[in-house]
Chains A and B, each alone.
Chain A
Amino acid sequence: MPEISAGDTAWVLVSAALVLLMTAPGLALFYGGMVRAKSTLNMMMMSFGALFVVGIIWVVFGYSVAFGPALDAGSFLGDPSAYFGLNGLLNTSAMALNGGYYPIPATAFIVFQAMFAVITVALISGAIADRARFGTWLVFAAIWVTIVYLPIARAVFYFGDQDANGGGFIATKIGALDFAGGTAVHINAGAAGLALALVLGKRIGFGKMLLRPSNLPLVMIGAGLLWFGWFGFNAGSALGANGLAGVAFVNTISATCAAALGWLLVERLRDGHATSLGAASGIVAGLVAITPACAFVDTAGALSIGVIAGVLTALAVGLKYRFGYDDSLDVVGVHLVGGLVGTILIGFFGTKSVNEFSVDGLFYGGGASQLVKQIQAALIVMIFSFVVTYILGTILSKTIGFRVSKDEELEGVDIVLQAESAYDLVDSSKGSSKGKSA
């Protein structure tokens, strides 16, 4: 068992807090500014709500299912009773275990991984903006993280016990590379978003009415906070304050800059203007795409992945109008497409020159074998997430109801669900108060 490293522990704890910042308030602002003024608070509450629900599930049984000892030999799930309520891990001596012991406390690894589960769920909410019932969203978050995220996280992120036995099948059997969650987080959330957008249906006025963003400055602030937090997401996935973290950190800058410029270039050529929403979107697209690849590619690879992701996602966000699905805030166009780009391009741009655990891709003399593994992993996660989410969403729709009524949607979900308004810029007296709780 290794000695605890103060530097590694500090970095992983800080990284966990950075990933929390991505969800609340980063993603909440990014999404909240992108919807109409009558849905801003509800949109932000979907991110915060995902945090509350998943945060509890993670410490009760989530961590145990994702990273605990296998339920039985060959099972795709961990035993929920092994670390139920973090039993045996919530003390000062337990060490982080994932295919071997890390020189950090188990608690640091638990909380870091908890924030990954949280943001994956929160990302999905962008696909169903303006029309989902808040209570059903919380129920969905609880069930989805349990039956979709935990098995996928185990398949991708779990490297087995102290002797590296029993690791997740995507990580160890297929041998796909996914450093920080291109598959488990972004392809997963994107495919789930598509399924829910189809289950809930289009917003009233989709493709006809003015459904433009209400507050682009919030979107820009959110994108900046996401980027800041993403250093914890990517570089923190090194689980140590070391060279690997440094590689991931640098690539998280270069790919993202390239993606933002790629997106703006598409806009300038196609629409005539480089927009602020395009810049914010390009930032997130680049972050998504470099997530799986950030520790495995050199600067040429990172810049290439970034610009390819920026251009492809900028084109992909138009697909929803062509095919008629209302993925309101482009979870599919940005996260599914960006996740696929990053995951698959490792097969081209991976290089051992940056990291001995990397693999040389097609462009670095390594042949196509890693590319095939990357495509397999991407497809498995995409199909599993889409199918299970579609079934879960349909069941929730038919039983407790997932969508607000037409009148409620027109009135606005902030007033109907939260009984609040995001903005009152004129500060005039428009009502009266009973001076007590209702």
Chain B
Amino acid sequence: MKLVTAIVKPFKVEDVKAALQAQGVNGMTVSDAAGYGRQGGHVEVYRGAEYTVDLVPKVRIEALINDSDVAKVVDAIVAAAKTGKIGDGKVWVIPVEDAVRVRTGEHGAEAV
């Protein structure tokens, strides 16, 4: 079992969600995030005072995926989130030891 985490542009969330559903992924956690990579931030001006806003709004999507599906799920996310412009985000995969479905108490792959 793996945890796939994707940081994507906010307006790409719906596309990524649809792509994940098409891959049979039935659950995910979505949260607002802020950060920076190569894109950097932007400049805002209030009454002539310049502020550099370094942390750009992004959305973090997390899903638990069974090992056999990880490669195609990651590919699907990347395809859905890509615009080709700087700031498209990042996807990474880390191993997960166990997971439990709270309602039933099922463990491991059954709980995904």
**A residues bordering B, Cβ < 8 Å?**
210, 212-213, 267, 270-273, 275, 277-278, 281, 314, 317-318, 321, 330, 333
Task: Kindly list 9 other residue pairs between chains A and B, CB separation below 8 angstroms, not including A317-B47, A321-B49.
Answer: A210-B51, A267-B48, A271-B45, A273-B45, A275-B45, A314-B48, A317-B48, A330-B47, A333-B47
Is there contact, CB below 8 Å, between A278 and B51?
Answer: no
Is there contact, CB below 8 Å, between B47 and A277?
Answer: yes
Minimal Cβ-Cβ distance residue in A for B52: A210
Asked if B44 CB lies within 8 Å of chain A CBs, one says: yes
Is there contact, CB below 8 Å, between B48 and A271?
Answer: yes
Minimal Cβ-Cβ distance residue in B for A216: B46
Q: Kindly list chain B residues whose C-beta atoms are within 8 Å of the C-beta of A270.
A: 48
Q: Kindly list chain A residues whose C-beta atoms are within 8 Å of the C-beta of B44.
A: 212
Give the interface residue-count category, chain B. under 10
- 29 A-B pairs within 8 Å (CB atoms) are namely A210-B51, A210-B53, A212-B44, A212-B46, A212-B51, A213-B46, A267-B45, A267-B48, A270-B48, A271-B45, A271-B48, A271-B50, A272-B45, A275-B45, A275-B46, A277-B46, A277-B47, A278-B47, A281-B47, A314-B47, A314-B48, A317-B47, A317-B48, A318-B47, A318-B48, A318-B49, A321-B49, A330-B47, A333-B47
**Closest beta carbon of chain A to B78's beta carbon, Å:** 29
Q: Kindly list chain A residues whose C-beta atoms are within 8 Å of the C-beta of B53.
A: 210
Q: Kindly list chain A residues whose C-beta atoms are within 8 Å of the C-beta of B47.
A: 277-278, 281, 314, 317-318, 330, 333
CA distance A281 to B44 in the complex (A): 17
**Closest beta carbon of chain B to A393's beta carbon, Å:** 24
**B residues bordering A, Cβ < 8 Å?**
44-51, 53
Q: Kindly list chain B residues whose C-beta atoms are within 8 Å of the C-beta of A314.
A: 47-48
CA distance A399 to B53 in the complex (A): 40
Q: Kindly list chain B residues whose C-beta atoms are within 8 Å of the C-beta of A212.
A: 44, 46, 51
Total A-B contacts with CB atoms under 8 angstroms apart: 30
9 interchain residue pairs of minimum CB distance: A271-B45, A317-B47, A318-B48, A210-B51, A212-B46, A212-B51, A277-B46, A277-B47, A317-B48
**Closest beta carbon of chain B to A195's beta carbon, Å:** 21
CA distance A317 to B53 in the complex (A): 21
Q: Kindly list chain B residues whose C-beta atoms are within 8 Å of the C-beta of A213.
A: 46
CA distance A278 to B51 in the complex (A): 15
**Closest beta carbon of chain B to A283's beta carbon, Å:** 13
**Closest beta carbon of chain B to A231's beta carbon, Å:** 26
CA distance A333 to B49 in the complex (A): 13
**Closest beta carbon of chain A to B79's beta carbon, Å:** 31
Minimal Cβ-Cβ distance residue in A for B49: A321
CA distance A167 to B33 in the complex (A): 64
**Closest beta carbon of chain A to B47's beta carbon, Å:** 5
Q: Kindly list chain A residues whose C-beta atoms are within 8 Å of the C-beta of B49.
A: 318, 321
Minimal Cβ-Cβ distance residue in B for A273: B45
**Closest beta carbon of chain A to B53's beta carbon, Å:** 7
CA distance A388 to B51 in the complex (A): 35
Minimal Cβ-Cβ distance residue in B for A271: B45
**Closest beta carbon of chain B to A100's beta carbon, Å:** 44
Q: Kindly list chain B residues whose C-beta atoms are within 8 Å of the C-beta of A273.
A: 45
Q: Which of B44, B45, B48, B49 has the most CB of A within 10 A?
A: B48
Minimal Cβ-Cβ distance residue in B for A315: B48
CA distance A277 to B53 in the complex (A): 17
CA distance A230 to B80 in the complex (A): 53
Q: Kindly list chain B residues whose C-beta atoms are within 8 Å of the C-beta of A330.
A: 47
**Closest beta carbon of chain A to B32's beta carbon, Å:** 10
CA distance A416 to B96 in the complex (A): 42
**Closest beta carbon of chain B to A230's beta carbon, Å:** 21
CA distance A273 to B48 in the complex (A): 10
Minimal Cβ-Cβ distance residue in A for B44: A212
CA distance A321 to B50 in the complex (A): 11
CA distance A272 to B44 in the complex (A): 11
